[in-house]
Amino acid sequence: MNIYDVAREATVSIGTVSRVLNGGYVKQATRERVLTAIHKLDYVPNSGARSLGLGRTGVLGIMVPFFTRPFFIEVLRGVEMAAAKAGHEIVLYNVETDQQRDNYFKRLPMRKRVDGLLIVSLRPDDQEATRIREAGLPVVLVDAYHPFFTSIVVENTGGARMAVEHLISLGHRRIGFVNGMVEGAFHFNQADDRLNGYREALMAAGIDFDPTLIYVSEWNRAGGMKGGDALLRRDDPPTAIFAASDLQALGVLEAMRQHERNVPHDVSIIGFDNIELAELLNLTTIAQPMCEMGTIGVEQLLHGKDEPPRTIQVEAKLVQRQTTQRLFTGVT
Amino acid sequence: MNIYDVAREATVSIGTVSRVLNGGYVKQATRERVLTAIHKLDYVPNSGARSLGLGRTGVLGIMVPFFTRPFFIEVLRGVEMAAAKAGHEIVLYNVETDQQRDNYFKRLPMRKRVDGLLIVSLRPDDQEATRIREAGLPVVLVDAYHPFFTSIVVENTGGARMAVEHLISLGHRRIGFVNGMVEGAFHFNQADDRLNGYREALMAAGIDFDPTLIYVSEWNRAGGMKGGDALLRRDDPPTAIFAASDLQALGVLEAMRQHERNVPHDVSIIGFDNIELAELLNLTTIAQPMCEMGTIGVEQLLHGKDEPPRTIQVEAKLVQRQTTQRLFTGVT
DNA sequence: TTGTACGCGTTATCAA
DNA sequence: TTGATAACGCGTACAA
C-alpha cells in the first residue's frame, strides 16, 4: 500500500497524490478522487520514507536518567505535552548506567533519528559537546548546563539558600544537609550549586559552616534514609535537615520515624523539587517548575534553532507545609 | 557523512562497508580499513534510510493513557527494560483524550514507524482491531483484552475477590467498594471484572450484595476521595472499603482523615496495584506485577510474532500492611 | 494544474 | 571476497 497504489487507483501521478497530502495546488475534483482512493485503500504514508526524503523525522528524543523518578516524570509530562501540541512524537532514551550514557552521547546525535534532543539532568563533557554541536542536531539541556547549548535550570543556589534561610528564620542554627551525589559519571552539578546556597545562607546568618553536618547520598529515598540516620546518630544531632531532593527528604522522614523523633516538633525537614508526594505527605519544600521546564525545553528545541545558546533560569519557590516549625527552645 | 564517503575513504564499495557494519564476510585487512575510515569520519548510519531498506525500524511504540500515573509508570519501566535489552527504542504515545485515542488507533498501525505496538489499558473496538490486524503490525495488549491480540492481564476478578475475602476474614460484613469508571471512551473493562470479584466474595460468604455500597469514580486520588466521602456520609457507613486502585485508596484514606476516622481502627482500607506509594503509606493492597507485565508484553511483541494470539494471565497477590485490621466489635 | 524523474542513505541480490 | 545496482517509499524540482 504505497503512494503508487493510490496514484493508480485515482488515475493520477504520485506527484499529485503527494500534493494532496502535503497541501499543494490541486484541482478540487482531482483532490477528491485522490482522497477517495486514499480512503478506499486505507493508505497511510510510510513515515520512514517520508523522513528520508524530508530530512526530518517529526520525532524528538529525550534522554533522561532513571526516568521513573518523580522529578523526571514531571519533566517528561511537560515534554510530552509540548511535543504533542507541536505534532511531534517523543522517543525515550533512559539512562541507568555510565555505559548507556556514553553510548547515547556518542551515537544519538549523528544518527538523525530525531529532529532534536532534550537532555535532562545529564551534562556532556566538552569533547562530547563539541561532537554534538558539529553533528548539527539541536540540543537543549534541562536541569543541566553547558555553554554550547540552551539550558533550562532552576536557581539551584538561590533555592537552596531559600530553604536554609527558612530554617534559620524558624530559629534553627544546627542545620544538617543531605546533599545528592554524583551517580555514576553522570556529571550532575546541581549538588555543588545547592551546597553553595546552603553555605551562603549560613554565612549570611553568621552561623559557622560545619562540614560534618553534611551527608552526601544518592538522589533517592534509600539515600535520604542513610543521611537522616547518620545525622541523628551524632552527639549533637541537627534540629533541622535540608534534603537536596524531596525523595531524599522522604528517606529522612523515614529515618526520623525509626529514631522516634517527631517531625516537625523535634526536627524540621525541608526538601527540594515539590513532587506530588510532597503535597501528599505535607512536606515543606522548595518548588521548581518541573513540568514547565520540560515544556520550555521543547519549545526551545523547536523554535530556538538558530538563536545562540542561552541559559534560562526558572524560579524556585518556598512551599511551606507541615514538616518545618519554629525551633522548640523549652522556654515559654 | 554517508556510506559513500566511508567507501571512498577506505577505497572499497558501499557494499563492503555495509557488510562490515552488518556482519558479512569481509577480509580482515579490508574490514580494518573500513573500520578506520568509519572512525576517522565519525560515521554513523542514518537510521531512517536503514529502516527504509530493512523494512523495520528498531522502534517499539507504546500507547498508554495518562502515563504519569504510577501504575503506567511501572508498566513503562518494564517495557523500557525489556526494549533496551533487546536493542529497541521506544516511542511514547500518551493518550489523554478520546480524540487522541481514536487518532492513534486509526493511524499508528499503518504508518510503519514502529515494529510493534504495545497498548496499555486501552481496548480497541472490533472494527479498530480488524484494521490493525489487517495492517499486519504486531500488537500486544497489556491490562486490556481483545481476542485478536495477545493480551497480558492480571486476574482482575480473582484479585478483587481476594481483597474482599481478606476483609471478610477480618470480620467485616458491610464492605464499601470504590470502583473505577470508564474515562472517556477508553473502554477499560477492568472495572467490570473487579466488580464481579467483589460480588463473588460477598456471595461466597453469604453477604447480601448492596449496590448502594458501590461508588464509581475516576481512577485517581480525587475520585477516591469523593468515593470515601460519599460512603462515610451514609447512615450506616461501611466498616471496610475496597478501592479498585491504590490511587483511589489514597483518596479514600484522605477522606477518612477528613472525617476523622482512624484507619484501620474505625475503617479498614484495601487497594489494588501495589504501587510504590502503597508501601510508603503502609496500604494493604492486591499486588499485580506491573513491571513484569510490561516486560512480558515486549517479549511477546518481539518473539511471539506468528504464534496465535493468547491471553496471559498473571497472578495477583494479597500484600497485607497496616490499613486493614480485624473489625472491632466492642466485645472482649 | 499535472506528470516525470531524481535524490535521500541504506540493504540485499547477483554477478564477477 | 568484492563491486555494481536494484529496490525501499516518499518529496520535489522541473518540465509539460
- Is the CB of residue B12 inside 7 Å of nucleic acid strand D? yes
| Nucleotides of strand D lying closer than 7 angstroms to a protein CB | 1-5, 7-13
Q: In this predicted structure, what is the pLDDT of residue B266?
A: 95
Q: Which of B1-10, B167-176, B276-285 has the lowest mean pLDDT?
A: B1-10
Instruction: List pLDDT tens digits, range B244-295.
Output: 999 999 999 999 999 999 999 999 999 999 999 999 999 999 999 999 999 9
Name the amino acid, one letter, at A276: E
Mean pLDDT for the stretch of residues B231-235: 96
pLDDT band at B166 (very low <50, low <70, confident <90, very high): very high
CA distances from A269 to A259, B21, B138, B194 (A): 14, 55, 50, 40
Q: Which of A28-32, A244-248, B246-250, B252-256 has the lowest mean pLDDT?
A: A28-32
Q: Measure, in angstroms, how far nucleotide D8 C1' is from residue B54 CA.
A: 8
Q: Which residues of B212-224 are buried (b: 16+ CB within 10 A; e: fewer)?
A: ebbbbbbbbbebb
Q: In this predicted structure, what is the pLDDT of residue A305?
A: 80
Instruction: List pLDDT tens digits, range A136-164.
Output: 899 999 999 999 999 999 999 999 999 99
Q: In this predicted structure, what is the pLDDT of residue B184?
A: 61
Q: In this predicted structure, what is the pLDDT of residue A187?
A: 56
Q: In this predicted structure, what is the pLDDT of residue B154?
A: 97
Same fold, A59-154+290-314 and A156-288: yes
Mean pLDDT of chain A, nearest integer: 93
Name the percent of chain B lying above pLDDT 70: 97
- Is the CB of residue A15 inside 7 Å of nucleic acid strand C? yes
CA A190 to CA A201: how far, in whole Å?
Answer: 17
Cβ-nearest to A91 among B59, B94, B280 = B59
When comparing pLDDT for B177 and A187, which is higher?
B177
Mean pLDDT for the stretch of residues B224-253: 97
The CATH number of domain B3-52, selected from 1.10.260.40, 1.10.287.3510, 3.10.20.30, 1.10.8.420? 1.10.260.40
Mean pLDDT for the stretch of residues B125-141: 92
Q: Structure pTM? A: 0.94
pLDDT band at B121 (very low <50, low <70, confident <90, very high): very high
When comparing pLDDT for A25 and A285, which is higher?
A285
Q: In this predicted structure, what is the pLDDT of residue B1?
A: 82
CA distances from B81 to A65, A95, B261, B294 (A): 13, 11, 42, 9
Q: In this predicted structure, what is the pLDDT of residue A109?
A: 87
CA A42 to CA B106: how far, in whole Å?
Answer: 10
Residues of B in contact with A110 (CB under 8 A): 1, 42, 44
Instruction: List pLDDT tens digits, range A43-71.
Output: 999 999 999 888 899 999 999 999 999 99
Q: Which of A100-109, A244-253, B143-152 has the lowest mean pLDDT?
A: A100-109
Q: In this predicted structure, what is the pLDDT of residue B171?
A: 97
Instruction: List pLDDT tens digits, range B11-25.
Output: 999 989 999 998 878
Domain definitions of chain A by residue range: 3-52, 59-154+290-314, 156-288
- Whether the Cβ atoms of residue A58 and residue A87 lie closer than 8 Å to each other: yes
Q: Which residues does A contribute to its contact with B (CB < 8 Å)?
A: 1, 42-49, 51-52, 57, 59, 67-68, 73-74, 76-77, 80, 84, 89-94, 100, 107, 110-113, 131, 250, 277, 280
Q: In this predicted structure, what is the pLDDT of residue B190?
A: 86
Q: In this predicted structure, what is the pLDDT of residue B305?
A: 80
pLDDT band at A184 (very low <50, low <70, confident <90, very high): low
- pLDDT exceeds 70 at position A220: yes
pLDDT band at B100 (very low <50, low <70, confident <90, very high): very high
Mean pLDDT for the stretch of residues B110-134: 92
CA B294 to CA A92: how far, in whole Å?
Answer: 15
pLDDT band at A186 (very low <50, low <70, confident <90, very high): low
Q: Which CATH architecture has domain A59-154+290-314?
A: 3-Layer(aba) Sandwich (3.40)
Chain A nearest CA to B70, separation (Å): 9
When comparing pLDDT for B271 and B184, which is higher?
B271
Q: Which numeric CATH code is attached to B156-288?
A: 3.40.50.2300
For C11, which residue's CA is nearest its C1'? B53
Mean pLDDT for the stretch of residues A194-207: 97
Cell numbers standing for residue A323: 514538616
- Is the CB of residue A305 inside 7 Å of nucleic acid strand C? no
pLDDT band at A112 (very low <50, low <70, confident <90, very high): confident
Chain A nearest CA to B26, separation (Å): 24
- pLDDT exceeds 80 at position A185: no
Q: In this predicted structure, what is the pLDDT of residue A188?
A: 66
Mean pLDDT for the stretch of residues B223-246: 97
- pLDDT exceeds 70 at position B187: no
Q: In this predicted structure, what is the pLDDT of residue B7?
A: 92
